[in-house]
Chain A
Amino acid sequence: MLTLWTVFRKELLENLRDRRTLFSALVFGPLLGPLLFGVMVSRIVAENTGAARQRVALTVVHGERAPDLLAYLTAAGARLRRAPFGARAARAAVVRGGAGVVLIVPRDYPRRFARSEPARVLLVADSADNATRGDAARAGALLQSYASSIAQRRLQVRGVDPLIAAPVTIDSIDVASASARAVSVIGLMTYFVLFAVLMGGLYFAIDATAGERERGSLEPLLMVPIARGALVGGKILATCAAMATSLAICLAAFLGVLHTLSLERLGMRSDFGPLMALEFFAICLPFVPLGAALMTFVASFTRSYREAQSYVAAVLLVPTLPIAFASIYSLRASPAWMFVPSLSQHLLMTNLLERRPIGAIDVLVSAASSLLVALVLFVFTERQWRRESMLG
């Protein structure tokens, strides 16, 4: 026990003096996720809410041929711009980009309009261009509504009830996009939390194993009469401390980020408060020893710092796999999934975010299975450290 504490203290002290390790444990690891999350979510919020209020921008060629239409569009809030080019150049201008959506009023429009014949206008847009696709759709809808308002007026003039021309009206209520986005955003958040756990201990784990070997301090260390279990345990514990710190910083950062974002507009409730952050911490804490033991185990087989970096970085992908699996198959928390570490933490956190109840037994199973895997990994690591090949 004393040895464990001695090793733990030394690993902590040594790594606290290493700027790179400290940066990855206290800054990069825990803050990358929340910042990325903040940027992504604020973009989604801007797209979803800002766009609705945005006015349609249209470039009009020969608008003088349809003053009534232009007046209607302006009244409907469209921003109109006179085209600096002719009808023939319009297509090329749209392809080049910059012209946005172009409305062309052909030469015969006034004549056909006056005779109540179908009068053609041309709407030129690039459907592959994300920036103007919304404009094109909204411009199309505006033109459609102008056309039907004209139709109604003509019917009225001819003494026909305009309602006859509207046998069915459609009101569509879209609930998909907001909630679908919310689910993917939540998936990201839980992933970033688990990422922060692993990233926080990355360099601790490498330094305690491959670093020890690369410095040449491993051989004298292995000559000291101490139990390898205490040695490995102390190293894993130090990595755990770094991971838990990273987790706490990450959750605090998420508190800040979610506080400044307006998730409600996405149909998500942002009740991720201090209490839920604590619950997240408790849910993820059993994942900490698992991550620390896993990284230490993998790094124990590597010969150098560089080699360890590439192998242990692959371990960072571990939490993504179950989460990707979960989002592809839209998994919901069920007792069976609680046996799968990282997936269980993801599902439990998702449930909390969506305000669905979680069972105490689920939390216990999730924690127990994670700790069990951690224990197995610890045993394997200790065995590897007892082997001669450790010296390399």
Chain B
Amino acid sequence: MEHGTDTTEEIQKSIGRLFFLLLLMFFVATFVLWRIDNPRAEYLRARAFDVLIAPLEGGLVPIHNVVEMAKGFKSYQQLYEQNQQLKRDLKEQQIWSEAASQLAQQNAKLIVLNNVQVDPKLSHITGVVLVDSGSPFRKSVRVNVGRQDGIKDGWAAMDGLGLVGRISGVGKRTARILLLTDTASNVPILLQETGQRGFLSGDNSSRPTLEFLENPEQVRPGDKVVSSGDGGVFPAGLPIGQVVVGNDRRLRVILSADYQNIELLRILRSSAPEEITSYGELVAPHHESNAGGGNNE
């Protein structure tokens, strides 16, 4: 009798061991698949977020607000000073807003005069940040717009002040934005003062580094950095930030975008750049039209 229970226990144990090995192999296989077919795996991840996070959208915003309130309580003592400061600022702003509204009117008139159509490239979709990456090693956020809103991979995301990142991974209802500070982020940039081109590559710190500049010694702190549009992913000329020299003596960029407070992002619709498929037609007259001209004569 006792012998019988022993064998069943042994069988159970070996089944458990087999199951353990199978599970281990399954996870290793998923890693290999993730490595080989990364886009598909990331697509599956985006689907998981669609299913798990998008339904929580209604709940996430209040939680976010509570967190913001808790942060606000910290500065409760300074609230009065802040209030006074804000009142002073508001007065100044009113002057500016008056000036701005006058300019807007003027602008509207000029647009009508010129009959200008605003470049559709410059239109945008606004997304609300739902969640961040949840890991200190990855800098990304997820917004509540996705494929059903026409979002595509590679589009630029900005807040009101500057470039924040680009779309990297689109689900049906959510999309992931890779921030400029992520280690995987490399953006072609242009230094406005010296006209040098280079790359802005994130290193998980709040100030990404400048790489591949032709003459780094010409660059001075305070130079303005904008996107160069090279590679055709981003539109050119989006403001990014200012050059500083980091503690490690490398050239870094203070980002203009307010990274401490990313809530609403505008995602710029950018179309793929027109490809030049043949040479010469831009300068020389078209060969066939030449031939046609010949026939007419």
Same assembly: no
